[in-house]
Amino acid sequence: MQVIIITGAIDSGKTTYCRTELAAAGLEGVRGLLLMKVMEQGMTVGYDAREIGGEGSTPFARRLGNEPPGWREAERVGCYSVSRSGKEAANRWIEEALASDPEVLIIDEVGPLETAGGGLAASVRRCLASDRPDLTIYLVVRTNWLDHVRACFDLHGARLLSLPLT
């Protein structure tokens, strides 16, 4: 199995790269999860989880104080509350993606929540343990958390793709 870490600073284009360059290459063999920014008045107020290769979309995280009515928090990371139903859906979509025998699996994004054992951590571990030689896994990781993710998930041999591309 090949693991490629897409890394860059906040707003460097990691999710856009996954959506336009990887997922658009052919939805038949590309599956996974994107966390898309939710903007209000030019400010990021949260992230929605979107299934690659499926129709799923759900609120995943909201900035504290911006949670909609009925929001049920699963956990917090920094200034964000993670939705219980959003977390469950995102992990389910990753598991379903892996079970569908894709050529490419994208997980956007792996960070502090996952290195602490929350968020998408269990699904990331199952994907990495699948040991399928025909699978390429792309993990999106912010530059400032790269060393933590590499250590936590034993990814020292993974290829790096740093954005923005020059």
User: Cα–Cα distances in Å, from 91 out to 9, 15, 134?
Assistant: 24, 18, 22
Name the pTM for this structure: 0.95
Per residue in 122-165, pLDDT tens? 999 999 999 899 999 999 999 999 999 999 999 999 999 999 88
Per residue in 63-102, pLDDT tens? 999 999 999 999 999 999 999 999 999 999 999 999 999 9
Mean pLDDT of the 1-29 span: 87
The reported pLDDT for the residue numbered 26 is: 57
Pairing mode of beta strands 104-108, 136-142 = parallel
Residue closest to 88 by CA, chosen among 73, 77, 76, 67: 73
**Which of the four CATH numbers 3.40.50.300, 3.10.20.30, 3.20.20.100, 3.10.20.440 does domain 2-35+84-162 have?**
3.40.50.300
